[in-house]
Structure 1
Amino acid sequence: MLRSYAKGIAAMLRLPAEHPQNWFRNAFTHLMDCPHGNWWFFVWHRGYVGYFEQTIRALSNDPDFAMPYWDWTQQPGIPEDMFNGVLTPTDRAYEPYTGNVARFTSFIKPALQAYWNGLNSAQRAQLNARGYATFDLLWDDVTGFSESAHAVVPGNAAYAVTSGARYLSRFNRGLDKKTAYGVSPFIVNAGLRPASFNSPNITLSFTSSKTASHVMAPTAATQFSILEAMPHNKVHNCIGGVGAIDPGPYGNMTNFLSPLDPIFYLHHANMDRLWDVWTRKQIALGQPYLPTGPDLQTLANEPFLFYVNSSGQYISGNAGDYFDATAFSYDYQPGFGEKCVEERHVSNVGKISPLQATINASGASVVVPAPLIQGLGGEAGQTSLVASITLPRPDGASAPREFDVLINAPEGVTQVDADSPYYAGTIAFFGPMMHGMKMSNDATFSVPLRKELGVFSNAAGASATLNIKVVPSGGQRAPALPLRDVSINAL
C-alpha cells in the first residue's frame, strides 16, 4: 500500500499547478475549508481523506489501494517506511517547489489566485466567514504575515521549507513522552466513552462544539472534545516541532497546509477509524450515533464546497453524504479501541453532578469526594474523572501553543515530565490564530485525570483537594494561564 501511495504522490507532484489534483493544490483545500474545534471535524475529514484515497487509487494505477492508518496508540512513532522517498516531505522531490518561499510562491500563487477568481458566491461566502475576505488574507496565512504585527511570524507560516518540512526524522521518529501520553490507551479510551455525538457538556460529547457553520473560526464558545484536542492536536504539533523549536518556523504538520506531509492522511485515517469504533459502540448499546431531531438536519445539510474527486473534478455536497464510511466503500481492520465495542460501557455523566472549581490567582481548586476517587479506573464499569478547563489562548509572535495541566504541583514548579505525579496532560492548540478570530480567544478542553496522579494516590480513602494550574509546556518563558472556568465531571 505504501508503494502505491508513493506512486500516487509522485504523480500528483508532476501535475501542473493549475490542476485540481496537484499535490499542493490538494493541500490548499484543507487550508481553505477544514473545520477544527467544531462538530464537523470528523465528517469533513472523512470526505477529504476519502476522495484523496480514490485519487491515489487512480493516479497510482492500483485499483485496490486502501489508505493505511497509523495506530499511534499501539505504535507511538512514525512508521519507518514513511521516511522513504516522497513519503517524507523532506525528500528532494519536493525541493523544486518548497526549497524556499520564493520558489513556492512563484510555483503555486498564480494558479491559486486564478482558482480564487473563479470561485462562486457560495464558496466566497464560506471563505468570508472563515476570515478570508480577500486572496491576500489567505496568502498571509501561507507566509505567516501578521497584519497586527506588520511582520512575518515564523510560527504562523503554513509554508515550510523542504529541509524543515517534518521535525521528526528516521533516527528520531518516536513521539515525545507527552505526546505518547496524549495517544495512550487511557486517553483514547476516555475519548471513546462519551455517550452523545454532541452535547453542551463537552465531557459527554464525542465531537467538539456545535457551531453555525463548519468554517467558523474558534470563538469563546469553542469546546474541544478529548480525541480532537489530545491525540489529534498533539500528534500534529509533535511532528511539526512545537515544543522543540518554539516559536517556529515549524514543519508542515503544525499548520493548515499539514496535508503537504504524507503522514497527515495516515494520522487522519486513524482518527476516522476511532469515529467508526465509537459509532459501532453506540450501535451495540442501542444508542444514537448521530444527533437527533433538528440537530441532525443541521449537521447533515452543511454544504462542503471545495472537494476534488478522483477524476479531478470539483464537487459539492453536504455533510450527510459522509456520515457512513460506506460512502467510500471501505471499513477498517481492527486496531486499538475495539474493546470498547465489546464492553459496551455506559457513561456515568448525568448520574453525578459536575464539581465546580473555585478560580483563584494561581489557578483553580476543587474538592473531589472519596467515593469518586475510589471508583477511578477507566475500565468498563468504572469511573473516569475529566477536568473541563476554560482558558484564554495567548496571542503574539512567540505565544506558546501547548500548556501542561498540573495537579497539586508545589509552588514554583512549572516544568514536569510526563511521568510526574503532578502531570495531568497537555492542552494543545493546532494551527495559528485565524483571521476570523475577534476579541475573545477562550477555549475549553477536556482533560481526563489518571488515577496515578499523586493527589489520588495520597488520598487514602478520603476526599482530595485538587489545585489545578496550567503552565506553558516545554519550559517556555511565559506566565501560567489565568483560568476562566474549571469543573470536574465523571465519565
Structure 2
Amino acid sequence: MRRSREQTIEFSRRGFLAAGGAALAMSRASFGAVRSQPKAKYTRVNLNSPEAIPMLASYNKAVTVMLQLPPTDARNWYRNAFIHLLDCPHGNWWFLPWHRGYIGWFEQTCRELSGDPNFAFPYWDWTAEQVHGTLGIPASFSQDNALNPSNDLFIKSYDTFKAAFESPTQEFYKGLNMDQLDALAVRYEGQPDTQNTPEGFWKSAEPAWFGTSPRNPDFDQPTKIAVSPETIKAALRTKTFSVAGVSGFGSGEAPQHSNSIRQSQGILESQPHNLIHNATGGPGPEGFMTEFFSPVDPIFFMHHSNIDRLWDVWTRKQEKLRLPTLPENGLDRWQSEPFLFYVGPDGKPIATKKDDPRGQAGYYATIGNFDYTYTPGSGEDAVLKSYVPSKFSSQAFTSKLSSRTVGIGKMAVASTDLPNGLDEEVQAEGSDSELVAEIALTLPTDRASNKFHVFVNPPAGSRSVSFDDPGFAGSIAPFGRHGHSDSPVTFSIPITAAVKALRKAGRLKGGEPLNVHVVAAGSRGSVELVPVETPLASVTI
C-alpha cells in the first residue's frame, strides 16, 4: 500500500534546515546538430513503444530461466544482483561507466538465455511519462510474470534466500584473487569482519527484504520534478564530465570507485537516478529498488538503460560542441580503475585482473564495445540546440552562513548575492543558463530514507510550506544506505525554475539574495526516524 503523499513541510516541528558554505554557480552549455553514427547491431527502444513488446517478452523469458537456475550458476538471477551489491559505485565519476558495463554484459546474458539474438534492453523514459501524466510503474512490469518481483518465482524471505545462497557465496569468495579481494577491502574499509568473508555481503543484502513488499511505489511531487524536462535539460547543459571540486555530468572525482569517501553527485545521479530508485521501491517498507540489491527488481535495467541513454545524448552534444566527453584531469587514473566482478553470457567472469582491458573503466567509456544504439527519447533535442557564450559560465558565488548544523528545531539559511547581470541572463526568454545548488550533507551511516526538501526564499515566518510553493525546487536523497564514512555527500539540484517562479510571483526582486533552505522530510510519517542532527558541510549552486 502506498503512503499518502506529503502536502506540506512543517518547519517548526520536524524541519531540518540545511545551510553551509554556499556558492552559486551558473553553467551554460552549448548545443549543435546531431552527428551521424554508423548503424548499430542492436537497438534499445522505449519500453512503452510497440517495438518493445517482443523485447519485453524475451526479457520475461530470460528472467524466468535465470530465476530457475541453481545458486551455483553465476547467471542465476540473484547471483547477477550480487555483482551490483558487491561492486557498484555511486556518488563518483565511475557511476556511469560501471553501470554501462554491468547492464551491457547482462544484456548479452539475456540475449543468450532468451534465445532472442536481437534482444536489447528497452529504456524507461520516465520524463515522457511525467509529461503525459502517467509516471508510475509501467504496466508491463505489474503483470503476473517474471518482470514483477511479487511473482511467485521470486524468493519471498531473507531467511529462505540466505539458506539457498550461503554455501555458493562462500565458494565464490574462496575463488577470488588478490585483485578482487583488494577491491572488496576498499569497499568494506573499517569493517574487519567483511575482509575475505561474505559477512559484509549478508549485512548489505538483508535490508532488501525489509517488510513484505518488493515494491511500494510513491511517485510524489519531488520525484516528478526530478524527472521533469527542466531537470533533464539542466543535467544535459552541464559542460564537463567531472572536474575537481565540481559535480559534473558524470558526478565527482573520488579515490576509488567502491569507496564512500568524497561522494559528489551530478544532477543526473542526484535527481532522476536516486529519486526513481527510491520512488519505485519505497518509501516504506522499502522494496528492492531502494537498496544496493536493486537489480533483483527487473525494472532496474530499464531505469539504468535510460540513464545510459542520457549519457549518450550528453556525449553527442559535447562532441558537436567540441567539448570534452570524459574527465579533463586524472583521465589515466579514471580509465584504469578496475571493474572485476562482471559475468558474461557463458557464466564465466569477464575480467578478474586489474590489467585486463575489459576489467577497466576506460573500456566502457563508449557504447562501441556493446554495439547498441537508442531510439530518440526525452532530452534528444539537447543535441540540436545552438550555443551562445555566457559571461557568467561556470562562475561560483560564496554565500553567508548562519549555521552549519541541520537538526530538529535548528534552522539556518545560506544566503547568496548574485552579481549584476546574472539575474537578467537567467530570466531571459530562451536562456540556457542554469543555477544548480550543490548541497553537501554528512549523513548517518546505515540508515535509509534520508530525504531533504529544498526551498528557495520560502515565505518569512511560515510554519509550513506546500510543494506548490513557487520556491520549492525539489528534493535530494541518497540511493541505498550511506557507507561507513564521516565524509559529506554532495547532491546537485537545479533551482532555476524556482527562481523564475519566485520572480513571477513577485516574491523575489532583482538584486535580492537567494536564501536556500534544506528541510528534512519525515520518514514513513515518523519524526523519530529522522536523525537528530545532520551536519551540512556546504552548498554550491
TM-score normalised by structure 1 residue count: 0.87
| Structure 1 residues 411 and 106, CA gap change in structure 2 (3 angstroms) | farther
Give runs of aligned pairs for residues 82-481 of structure 1, distance below 5 A.
Answer: 82-84=141-143, 85-94=145-154, 97=155, 99-131=156-188, 132-133=194-195, 134-143=197-206, 157-159=207-209, 163-168=212-217, 175-202=219-246, 205-217=248-260, 219=261, 221-242=262-283, 245=284, 249-292=285-328, 295-316=330-351, 317-345=359-387, 348=390, 351=393, 353-361=395-403, 362-369=412-419, 371-376=421-426, 381-395=431-445, 400-410=449-459, 413=462, 416-434=465-483, 437-438=484-485, 440-453=486-499, 455-457=502-504, 458=506, 462-474=510-522, 476-477=526-527, 478=530, 481=534
Per-residue CA deviations over 1:433-487 (Å, capped at 9, x if unaligned) read 22xx23x141222221133445433267521222222111256524685532223
Matched, 1:21 2:70: no
Q: How far apart are 1:250 and its partner, in Å?
A: 0.8
Which residue in the other structure is 1:63 paired with? 117
Percent of residue pairs bearing the same amino acid type: 40
**CA distance, structure 2, for counterparts of residue 110 and residue 344 of structure 1:** 58
Letter in 1 for 2:201: L
Per-residue CA deviations over 1:156-189 (Å, capped at 9, x if unaligned) read x13456x411113xxxxx7222101101011111
> How large is the RMSD of aligned CA atoms in angstroms?
2.3
Per-residue CA deviations over 1:36-92 (Å, capped at 9, x if unaligned) read 001010000000001111111110111111100001000122211111211110111
| Structure 1 residues 464 and 159, CA gap change in structure 2 (3 angstroms) | same
Letter in 2 for 1:451: A
Q: How far apart are 1:415 and its partner, in Å?
A: 5.4
Letter in 1 for 2:318: Q
Deviates more, 1:469-478 or 1:103-112: 469-478
Instruction: Say which SS state the counterpart of residue 484 (structure 1) adopts.
Output: strand
| Structure 1 residues 346 and 239, CA gap change in structure 2 (3 angstroms) | farther
| Structure 1 residues 101 and 352, CA gap change in structure 2 (3 angstroms) | closer
Instruction: Say which SS state the counterpart of residue 405 (structure 1) adopts.
Output: strand
**CA distance, structure 1, for counterparts of residue 275 and residue 227 of structure 2:** 8
Instruction: Say which SS state the counterpart of residue 240 (structure 2) adopts.
Output: coil
**CA distance, structure 1, for counterparts of residue 91 and residue 150 of structure 2:** 29
Q: How far apart are 1:378 and its partner, in Å?
A: 9.2
| Structure 1 residues 379 and 68, CA gap change in structure 2 (3 angstroms) | farther
Deviates more, 1:193-202 or 1:471-480: 471-480
| Structure 1 residues 480 and 421, CA gap change in structure 2 (3 angstroms) | farther
Per-residue CA deviations over 1:278-329 (Å, capped at 9, x if unaligned) read 0000111112211346x22211111111000111111112111111112111
Instruction: Say which SS state the counterpart of residue 388 (structure 1) adopts.
Output: strand
Which residue in the other structure is 2:104 paired with? 50
Report 1 or 2 for greater relative contact order, CA contacts < 8 Å, sequence distance ≥ 6. 2
**CA distance, structure 2, for counterparts of residue 359 and residue 270 of structure 1:** 38
**CA distance, structure 2, for counterparts of residue 232 and residue 14 of structure 1:** 30
| Structure 1 residues 428 and 350, CA gap change in structure 2 (3 angstroms) | same
| Structure 1 residues 400 and 69, CA gap change in structure 2 (3 angstroms) | closer
| Structure 1 residues 32 and 367, CA gap change in structure 2 (3 angstroms) | same
Instruction: Say which SS state the counterpart of residue 426 (structure 2) adopts.
Output: coil
Contact 2:214 2:286 in 1 (8 A): yes
**CA distance, structure 2, for counterparts of residue 54 and residue 378 of structure 1:** 47
Matched, 1:39 2:93: yes
Which residue in the other structure is 1:154 paired with? none
| Structure 1 residues 120 and 425, CA gap change in structure 2 (3 angstroms) | same
**CA distance, structure 1, for counterparts of residue 280 and residue 302 of structure 2:** 13
Count of residue correspondences: 453
| Structure 1 residues 90 and 47, CA gap change in structure 2 (3 angstroms) | same
Contact 1:392 1:481 in 2 (8 A): yes
Q: How far apart are 1:357 and its partner, in Å?
A: 1.0
Instruction: Say which SS state the counterpart of residue 239 (structure 1) adopts.
Output: helix
**CA distance, structure 2, for counterparts of residue 83 and residue 105 of structure 1:** 26
Q: How far apart are 1:392 and its partner, in Å?
A: 1.8
Letter in 2 for 1:27: A
Structure 2's unaligned 5+ residue stretches are: 1-54, 130-134, 189-193, 352-358, 404-411
**CA distance, structure 2, for counterparts of residue 456 and residue 480 of structure 1:** 33
Per-residue CA deviations over 1:219-247 (Å, capped at 9, x if unaligned) read 2x3211010001000000111113xx2xx
Per-residue CA deviations over 1:187-222 (Å, capped at 9, x if unaligned) read 11111111111112425x1111112221112x2x32
Structure 1's unaligned 5+ residue stretches are: 144-156, 169-173
TM-score normalised by structure 2 residue count: 0.79
Instruction: Say which SS state the counterpart of residue 425 (structure 1) adopts.
Output: strand
Q: How far apart are 1:369 and its partner, in Å?
A: 4.2
Which residue in the other structure is 1:150 paired with? none
Q: How far apart are 1:8 and its partner, in Å?
A: 0.3
